[in-house]
Amino acid sequence: MRVRNRPGAAEMLAARPEYVVQDPEAWKGRWSERFGNDHPIHIEIGMGKGQFITGMAAAHPEINYIGVEMQVSVVSMALDKLVEKELPNLQLLHVDGSELTNYFASSEVDQIYLNFSDPWPKKKHEKRRLTSPSFLAVDEEILRPAGEIHFKTDNQGLFEYSLSSFSKYGMTIEQVWLDLHESSYEGNIMTEYEEKFSNKGQRIYRVEARFQDKTKK
């Protein structure tokens, strides 16, 4: 997601340290302390403007959510939604999603969401895809044993690549939706992109994939 630079965005983030974590490295291994409870932790990598993650946090107060996004202007838009809804179970990180082991300890996260990630369609850019093996290795490190990735996209090529990547990595494909909005799936919370694409009649793909539980080997 690319948006115009938002004047004052960095200052907005700095002004709300209760929602935007200023020193994420300091909370590695201590996120339950940050939230003040031991609820499961779910993170969205590439949260965009925050419609999905704020919707999930509002719908599931029994789960702690962390939204991760690189672009400061986009994080500020997610912050707008968070401030409006005053969600105590949501924190925002303005960090690079490829460096999550700097901010989360091994097995600290219970579930990861990837929604409408950049498809990087050229073969030479494969390593930049969030479902490529290098990113999956980072995800596996911070997820609990047998942790899951829930992935949504409108891009058929990225969806097919991701299914293959999950499988080759040794993950178990739990469920697949080839047309999410025409299915019986309940509780779907849409992202901004999802609303845009579905309104145009585009098919939305979804998959839930689980890592192996290496503690049982």
Q: What pLDDT sits at residue 215? A: 81
Q: Is 193 annotated as a binding residue?
A: yes
* Measured distance CA(201)–CA(211) in Å, rounded: 32
CATH superfamily of 27-210: Vaccinia Virus protein VP39 (3.40.50.150)
3 has a pLDDT exceeding 80:
no
* Measured distance CA(82)–CA(88) in Å, rounded: 9
Instruction: Give the type of residue at 24.
Output: P
pLDDT digits (tens, 9 = 90+) for 150-201: 999 999 999 999 999 999 999 999 999 999 999 999 999 999 999 999 999 9
In contact, 3 and 76? CB cutoff 8 Å: no
In contact, 91 and 132? CB cutoff 8 Å: no
Q: Which residue has the tokens 């949504």?
A: 152
In contact, 142 and 104? CB cutoff 8 Å: yes
Q: Is 44 annotated as a binding residue?
A: yes
5 has a pLDDT exceeding 70:
yes
| Phi, psi dihedrals of residue 90, rounded to the nearest 5° | -135, 130
Tokens describing residue 199: 């309104």
111 has a pLDDT exceeding 70:
yes
Q: Is 179 annotated as a binding residue?
A: no
* Average pLDDT of the residues in 191-214: 94
Q: What pLDDT sits at residue 52? A: 97
| Catalytic positions | 118
Instruction: Give the type of residue at 70.
Output: M
- Backbone dihedral region for residue 3 (phi beyond 0: left; psi -120 to 50: alpha; all else: beta): beta
Q: Is 96 annotated as a binding residue?
A: yes
Q: Is 154 annotated as a binding residue?
A: yes
Q: What pLDDT sits at residue 98? A: 84
Domain definitions of the chain by residue range: 27-210
pLDDT digits (tens, 9 = 90+) for 125-152: 999 999 999 999 999 999 999 999 999 9
What's the whole-model pTM score? 0.94
Cα separations in angstroms, 181 against 108, 121, 188, 198 = 32, 24, 9, 8
For residue 105, count other CB atoms closer than 10 A to its CB.
14
pLDDT digits (tens, 9 = 90+) for 34-85: 999 999 999 999 999 999 999 999 999 999 999 999 999 999 999 999 999 9
Tokens describing residue 194: 């999802």
Q: What pLDDT sits at residue 160? A: 98
